Amino acid sequence: MKRVLAILAAAGLFILPAAATAHPAPDVPRITLGIKLLEAPVERRDDPRASSYIIDHLAPGSTIRRRLEVVNDSSEPLRLGMYAGKAGIHKGRFVYPPDGRRNELAHWISLEPARLELHPHSTARVRATIRVPRRASEGERYGVIWAQHRSAPHGDANIAMVQRVGVRVYLDIGPGGEPASDFRITGLVPARDHGGLPRLRARVRNTGARAVDLSGRLMLRNGPDGLAAGPFAGSQGPTLAPGDTGEITFALGSRIPNGPWTADVTLRSGLVEHTATGRLSFPDAGDGRPVQAMIASVGSHRRLWATGGAALAALGLAVLAVRRRGRNTSS
């Protein structure tokens, strides 16, 4: 039996956009609903993805259990339904259908209790059990454990609101140890957006056997007159299935000159972190000349320098610092 580690404040609430039949009327009560994972395998204690998502590797015939907490932070009592639904990865995004359709993994998941009645500003615990059939085929599967609230039609507007929040599930099936997770930064593309602001896109390929949720940071150095700038946080990074490619974008400030610069891009998914370097210049408009990324460091790091993930993570605010030889200026 796998040892499980309790997750405390690090997990945070995982809140997804509400799905509704129409735009809510002004008199429709606002519902704030959240869900978080309370525990993860001990061997993944340093993996930030495992604090938010159910990520595991199991042999056929195995069973695991995880506790979740559902939060009603509104002033209204809520009746919720708990269920597991299908999910997948498509064009760099973790995707799921708008309704309750299920896949093979969803049929392996049971939830206790399956229905909740939450008072205003209260919480409830739910236990998820995943039972893998003995004849399950090898490979990684994706799903979401949902808590869903459906309101009755409200007032004369006849509007029914459906809101759901969920926790992703990444489950790999196969004998022996877990397949390796890895990715490679293949190129850097300097550019300017339609408003003339500089951007840098890092191209990435998933070279491992598990899905990756990428987050990242950018540092610029050796610029004109010895300028250095950063760190800049990346946009919500892609989720890539094995073999997939994608991009993560870094937005820079308007005072960044064209260059040339030495760009250091560090990307991370779970415990896997890579840094790549390239010498580049930003164009006056559109896309600039792509440069091949030179690998500066490879390996797994247990120091948490950024949170995020995926699909559905909060974006941070980057602070730009521009340093000149002999003096500092900031914007």
Domain range for residue 115?
A: 4-173
Q: 178 in a domain, yes or no?
A: no
Per-residue pLDDT, 172: 97
In terms of pLDDT, which residue wins out, 88 or 20? 88
pLDDT in tens, 170-206: 999 999 999 999 999 999 999 999 999 999 999 999 9
| Pick from 124, 113, 112, 23: nearest CA to 78 | 124
Per-residue pLDDT, 307: 31
Report residue 146's pLDDT band, with 50, 70 and 90 as the boundaries.
very high
Last residue of a domain, one of 173, 192, 209: 173
Most confident of 34-43, 83-92, 151-160: 83-92
pLDDT in tens, 274-300: 999 999 999 999 999 999 888 876 655
What is the pTM (predicted TM-score) of this model? 0.80
- Model confidence at 117: pLDDT above 80: yes
Residues 150 and 253 occupy one common structural domain: no
Task: Print the SS3 string covering 108-150.
Answer: HEEEECCEEEECCCEEEEEEEEEECCCCCCCEEEEEEEEEEEE
Per-residue pLDDT, 156: 62
109: CATH: 2.60.40.10
Report residue 3's pLDDT band, with 50, 70 and 90 as the boundaries.
low
- Model confidence at 13: pLDDT above 50: no
Q: 109 in a domain, yes or no?
A: yes
